């Protein structure tokens, strides 16, 4: 009786040898494509990393500008609320908003 372990080992050897033979045949037929593929695999990650590092500060600058604009709008709204609360009650407060100005954050009420 043939042990199962020996059959498995022989099948793995044959599969590995066949795969290696096919790989070497491909490399022999297409050396430039193989070299380009290996070079691309080696070069692409650092290039993508460099691009990401160069874009990251720009993203942070734009994000901070957006935050600053929103905070300025919120501060302006809070000042208007404070003025209306502290204003005398007998005289109504009339503020005319410029119709051509649109706030980044719209007032709640």
**Who wins on pLDDT, 105 or 46?**
46
Kindly report the pTM of this predicted structure. Answer: 0.34
Token pair recorded at residue 78: 């809070």
pLDDT at 70 (0 to 100)? 92
Q: What is the SS3 assignment for the chain? A: CCCHHHHHHHHHHHHHHHHHHHHHHHHHHCHHHHHHHHHHHHHHHHHHHHHHHHHHHHHHHHHHHHHHHHHHHHHHHHHHHHHHHHCCCCCCCCCCCCCCCCCCCCCCC
- pLDDT of the residue at 39: 84
pLDDT at 27: 76
pLDDT band for 49, please (50, 70, 90 cuts): confident
């Amino acid at each position: 009786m043939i042990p199962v372990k020996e059959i498995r080992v022989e099948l793995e050897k044959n599969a590995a040898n066949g795969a290696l033979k096919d790989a070497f045949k491909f490399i022999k037929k297409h050396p430039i494509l193989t070299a380009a593929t290996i070079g691309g695999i080696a070069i692409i990650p650092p290039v993508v990393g460099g691009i990401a590092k160069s874009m990251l500060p720009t993203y942070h600058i734009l994000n901070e500008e957006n935050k600053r604009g929103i905070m300025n709008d919120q501060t302006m709204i809070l000042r208007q609320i404070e003025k209306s609360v502290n204003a005398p009650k007998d005289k109504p407060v009339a503020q005319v908003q410029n119709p051509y100005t649109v706030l980044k954050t719209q007032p709640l009420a």
